[in-house]
Amino acid sequence: MSKIYFSLREVNEFVKKIRENVDRLSELNEQLSLLDNTKIEFDDDSMENFLLEVELNKNFHEKNVEMYSLLGDLIRKGCVIRDLDKGEIDFYSKLENKEILFCWRINEETVSFWHYPDEDLSKRKPVKEIEDAYMEKLNKMK
């Protein structure tokens, strides 16, 4: 599968469209973590306890299927899922023929930062820098 590249305008429109799925993905991730870390021990071997254990396992696996289905759909649409716990998602773009990543966190309204692919997220730069540089180029052309 080839990479999907977004302009800043496109990625901000796209983030609005996927927000509901990303919120659900984050919710499922939290629920699965909780279920995975919860251990239930029964005092007896009653049929009700066996059925309860089966239902808990079924619920866990259904949530896993839903989460990985959503994850696959988002990846196919161009998302680079960095960290589900922090809600960090990147999107490929190009800046002066160099590959960059717009980065978005689930708690942010719009994509406001970017970084180069070989940089970690602590090197996030404001997209305002890109916008200002573009406007400066346009003004020089006048």
pLDDT in the model for residue 121? 72
Write down the pTM of the prediction.
Answer: 0.83
pLDDT at 138 over 70: no
**CA gap 93, 86 in Å, rounded:** 22
pLDDT at 39 over 80: no
Average the pLDDT over each of 44-48, 129-133, 136-140 and give the range with the smallest value.
136-140
Q: Is 112 exposed, middle or buried (0-12, 13-18, 19+ CB in 10 A)?
A: middle
pLDDT at 137 over 70: no
Whole-angstrom distance, CA of residue 29 vs CA of residue 122 = 24
d(CA 31, CA 17): 23
Q: What is the pLDDT of residues 62-84, one digit of tens each?
A: 999 999 999 999 999 999 999 98
Which residues neighbour 19 within 8 Å (Cβ) at sequence distance 6 or greater? Answer: none
Domain coordinates of the chain in residue numbers?
8-141
